[in-house]
């Protein structure tokens, strides 16, 4: 069985950037649920903040897990504007952005009314451009914007993808993993066409294999190898099961890099940050 890769991928390409002075927007995606999107988003933010990067986490999921992980209150449409209302009204999200316990990490919280976003976005007639328009207000404030997508291929995730410069696809070792990656790639191509952008304008930064349990049976070991050697997308990191480090960090509202900086768990996310081309190895 191949061992977990924690060393940086050699020759990682420089990330093709947006305009100078503007944030690089990354869609953290997979329509398959529970694969580690939110866990990787929060902890990659921690690894980037450690390098002094200013990071905005946009919680794109009405479940609100990224918001809750930052110990920030969810927004409530009965009490004021939400990400959904600002998005649909093509407004400025800055008043909604909250600080977290890590000075360089801010979060645009989620809210329950985001459940209705797909249908409301379709009614707008300009759905695919809405996230890009909203984020245009904050591009100059951050180095990296991480979009924590919900597990779906729908109008909202299309618009989030259309706003992105790059994507990191999270996967778990599961018999449906390769199929899920294929569907994700198909969405990326379809969205780029709808957004009238060239296919390669969305940089697929890599696959991250999350929630790895070892030892593996033969079936999982085969899937794991297929993911590690994916024909078109390089594997930029792996996150084995580390419930204690991750839960204890989340319980205090910190990424593991800040809460338990010397653990191997922190190292997994530092490696992802380097392999994605977002920071240089220390
Ligand atoms: N490496 C890991 N070790 C232990 N637990 C993990 C690990 N990665 C994720 N988890 C746990 O697995 C569950 C799913 O992870 P997470 O919420 O990050 O996935 P997700 O892809 O964002 O899910 P969803 O599709 O619902 O948004 C969570 O309870 C999380 O705490
Ligand atoms: Mg999630």
Q: Would you say domain 24-275 falls under CATH 3.40.50.300?
A: yes
Q: What is the pLDDT of residues 99-139, one digit of tens each?
A: 999 999 999 999 999 999 999 999 988 899 999 999 999 99
Specify the higher pLDDT residue, 45 or 14: 45
Which pLDDT score, from 0 to 100, does residue 75 have? Answer: 98
Atom of ligand 1 nearest to the CA of 34: 23
* C-alpha to C-alpha distance for 104 and 56, rounded to whole angstroms: 8
CA quadruple 110, 272, 4, 217: dihedral, nearest 10: 30
Which pLDDT score, from 0 to 100, does residue 156 have? Answer: 97
**Contact status, residue 204 vs residue 167, Cβ threshold 8 Å:** yes
Which tokens in the block code for residue 143?
Answer: 């180095």
Rg (CA), the chain: 18
Which pLDDT score, from 0 to 100, does residue 200 have? Answer: 87
In the reported structure, the alpha carbon of residue 103 is separated from the centroid of ligand 2 by a whole-number distance in angstroms of 23
For residue 193, is pLDDT > 60?
A: yes
Partners of 59 in the beta sheet? Answer: 148
Atom of ligand 1 nearest to the CA of 150: 27
In the reported structure, the alpha carbon of residue 11 is separated from the centroid of ligand 2 by a whole-number distance in angstroms of 30
For 5, other C-beta atoms within 10 Å of its C-beta total: 16
In the reported structure, the alpha carbon of residue 137 is separated from the centroid of ligand 1 by a whole-number distance in angstroms of 30
For residue 282, is pLDDT > 90?
A: no
**Contact status, residue 271 vs residue 237, Cβ threshold 8 Å:** yes
**Contact status, residue 71 vs residue 253, Cβ threshold 8 Å:** yes
In the reported structure, the alpha carbon of residue 91 is separated from the centroid of ligand 1 by a whole-number distance in angstroms of 32
For a ligand 1 pocket test, name from 31, 33, 39, 115 the mutation site with the most ligand atoms within 8 angstroms of its C-beta.
Answer: 39
For 214, other C-beta atoms within 10 Å of its C-beta total: 13
Residue 213: nearest ligand to its CA? Answer: 1
Atom of ligand 1 nearest to the CA of 243: 4
Q: What is the pLDDT of residues 232-272, one digit of tens each?
A: 999 999 999 999 999 999 999 999 999 999 999 999 999 99
Q: Where are the chain's structural domains?
A: 24-275
In the reported structure, the alpha carbon of residue 33 is separated from the centroid of ligand 2 by a whole-number distance in angstroms of 7
For residue 15, is pLDDT > 80?
A: no
For a ligand 1 pocket test, name from 4, 29, 34 the mutation site with the most ligand atoms within 8 angstroms of its C-beta.
Answer: 34
């Amino acid at each position: 069985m191949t061992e977990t890769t924690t060393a940086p991928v050699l020759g990682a390409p420089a990330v093709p950037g947006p305009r100078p002075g503007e944030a690089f927007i990354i869609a953290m995606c997979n329509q398959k649920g529970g694969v580690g999107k939110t866990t990787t988003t929060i902890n990659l933010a921690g690894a980037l903040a450690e390098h002094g990067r200013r990071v905005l986490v946009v919680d794109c999921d009405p479940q609100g897990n990224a918001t809750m992980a930052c110990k920030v209150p969810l927004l409530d449409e009965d009490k004021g504007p939400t990400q959904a209302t600002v998005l649909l009204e093509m407004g400025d999200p800055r008043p909604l952005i909250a600080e977290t316990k890590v000075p360089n990490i801010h979060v645009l919280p989620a809210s329950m009314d985001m459940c209705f976003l797909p249908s409301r976005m379709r009614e707008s007639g300009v759905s695919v451009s809405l996230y890009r328009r909203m984020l245009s207000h904050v591009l100059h404030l951050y180095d990296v914007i991480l979009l924590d997508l919900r597990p779906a291929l729908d109008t909202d995730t299309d618009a989030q993808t259309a706003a992105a410069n790059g994507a990191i696809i999270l996967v778990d070792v599961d018999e449906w993993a390769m199929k899920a990656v294929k569907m994700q790639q198909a969405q990326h191509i379809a969205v780029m066409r709808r957004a009238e952008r060239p296919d390669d304008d969305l940089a697929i930064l890599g696959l991250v294999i999350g929630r790895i349990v070892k030892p593996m049976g033969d079936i999982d070991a085969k899937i794991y190898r297929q993911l590690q050697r994916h024909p078109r997308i390089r594997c930029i990191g792996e996150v084995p099961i580390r419930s204690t480090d991750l839960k204890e960090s989340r319980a205090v509202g910190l990424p593991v890099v800040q809460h338990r900086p010397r653990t191997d768990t922190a190292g997994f996310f530092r490696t992802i940050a380097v392999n994605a081309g977002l920071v240089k190895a220390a």
